[in-house]
């Protein structure tokens, strides 16, 4: 049932209320891709084994991180937010100015649109888990450098393992291409369920809200992506094989 607030969120997404189900792109063949291995965030055990860091040690490791140059210019690290057992995980690019100030992902203008997108899907921010590829703001909001992504990768991998999401949404080109280790344009990554990493986390790709703010005409496509993700999620919950 569409209440008035949900209608407002849908309108913020540029969505007509009669969006047809069949306007959602059909899933194409899933593509296996992977996060390339990074140093695991693990604590060595006396018997030679190791155990991955849990939430609080992971968070404090991130907040003290000096693995790349970005630590010099950050106000603070931006770890992640939301339900640590969420079924849905949203992964963006990197903190912007407002996120650097507040220490929380997606709280600036683009973040407000992401929040509307979530609400249009029926979620509150606290129902999902939100994180970024990078935990520190690149100066002037430039694109992340490959070495920065590489140094930060283990943190995100561990967050994904700890959350154990049923589905991941890569928000924007930078997140999608880095997660899937590809330079395929975002438009060609949409509308299919990718398998992320060795565990094959189901992952779908959509536009970044900052891009949608610049190109509001694309909001309909982003909405179609979210409906596609919801459909994929429902099929996964039924035990269907939507990812390979
Ligand atoms: N853009 C992102 O990709 N992440 C944020 O947290 C904010 C803006």
pTM, to two decimals? 0.85
Of residues 30 and 189, which shows the higher confidence score?
189
User: What digits encode the pLDDT tens for the residues 45-65?
Assistant: 666 666 689 999 999 999 999
User: Do residues 89 and 128 lie in contact, with contact meaning Cβ atoms separated by under 8 Å?
Assistant: yes
- Protein residue whose Cα sits closest to atom 7 of ligand 1: 106
CA 112–ligand 1 middle distance (angstroms)? 10
Confidence band of 28 (pLDDT split at 50, 70, 90) = very low
Q: Beta strands of the chain (E only): which ranges?
A: 32-33, 42-44, 50-52, 81-82, 88-92, 129-132, 167-171, 194-196, 201-206
How far is the C-alpha of 34 from the C-alpha of 92, rounded, in Å?
A: 17
CA–CA separation, 243 vs 226, rounded Å?
17
Whether the pLDDT of residue 149 is over 50: the answer is yes
Rounded to the nearest whole angstrom, what is the distance from the C-alpha of residue 241 to the centroid of ligand 1? Answer: 31
For residue 231, how far is its CA from the centre of ligand 1 (angstroms)?
A: 25
State how far Cα 168 lies from the chain centre. Answer: 6
Which has more confidence, 34 or 189? Answer: 189
Percent of the chain past pLDDT 70, that is, above it, reads 79
Summarised one tens digit per residue, pLDDT across range 177-193 is 999 999 999 999 999 99
Question: How confident is the model over 87-130, as pLDDT tens digits?
Answer: 999 999 999 999 999 999 999 999 999 999 999 999 999 999 99
Q: Is the CB of 104 under 6 A from ligand 1?
A: no
When pLDDT is cut at 50, 70 and 90, the band that residue 2 belongs to is low
Any atom of ligand 1 within 6 Å of the Cβ of 211: no
Quickly tell me which residue has 């694309």 as its tokens: 218
- Please tell me the distance between residue 244's alpha carbon and the centre of ligand 1 in angstroms: 29
Dist. CA 134 → ligand 1 center (Å): 9
Q: Are 10 and 220 in contact (CB under 8 A)?
A: no
Whether 79 lines ligand 1, by a CB cut-off of 6 Å, is no
pLDDT tens-place string over residues 62-90: 999 999 999 999 999 999 999 999 999 99
Which of ligand 1's atoms lies nearest the C-alpha of 105?
Answer: 6
For residue 228, what are the CA distances in angstroms to 17, 37, 77, 224?
16, 29, 32, 6
**Is the CB–ligand 1 distance for residue 132 below 6 Å?**
yes
Asked whether 110 and 209 are in contact (CB, 8 A), the reply is yes
Dihedral, 40, 75, 57, 169 alpha carbons, nearest 10: -60
Map residue 68 onto helix, strand or coil.
coil
**Checking DSSP bridges between strand 129-132 and strand 88-92, what pairing results, if any?**
parallel
- Residue of 141, 210, 213, 222 to mutate, ligand 1, most atoms within 8 A of C-beta: 210
């Amino acid at each position: 049932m569409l209440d008035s607030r949900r209608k407002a969120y849908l309108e913020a997404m540029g969505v007509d209320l009669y969006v047809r189900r069949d306007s959602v792109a059909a899933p194409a063949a899933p593509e296996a891709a992977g996060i390339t291995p990074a140093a695991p965030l693990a604590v060595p055990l006396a018997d030679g084994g190791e155990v991955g860091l849990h939430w609080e040690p992971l968070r404090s490791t991130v907040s003290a991180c000096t693995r790349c140059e970005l630590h010099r210019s950050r106000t603070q690290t931006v770890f992640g937010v939301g339900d640590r057992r969420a079924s849905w995980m949203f992964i963006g690019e990197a903190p912007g100015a407002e996120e650097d100030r507040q220490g929380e992902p997606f709280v600036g203008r683009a973040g407000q649109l992401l929040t509307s997108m979530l609400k249009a899907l029926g979620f509150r921010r606290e129902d999902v888990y939100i994180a970024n590829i990078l935990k520190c703001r690149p100066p002037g909001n430039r694109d992340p450098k490959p070495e920065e992504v590489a140094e930060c990768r283990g943190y995100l991998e561990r967050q994904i393992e700890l959350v154990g999401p049923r589905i991941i949404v890569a928000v924007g080109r930078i997140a999608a291409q880095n997660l899937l280790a590809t330079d395929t344009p975002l438009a060609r990554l949409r509308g299919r369920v990718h398998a992320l990493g060795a565990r094959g986390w189901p992952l779908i790709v959509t536009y970044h809200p900052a891009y949608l703010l610049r190109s509001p005409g694309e909001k309909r496509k982003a909405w179609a992506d979210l409906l596609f993700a919801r459909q994929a999620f429902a099929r996964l919950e039924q035990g269907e094989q939507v990812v390979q």
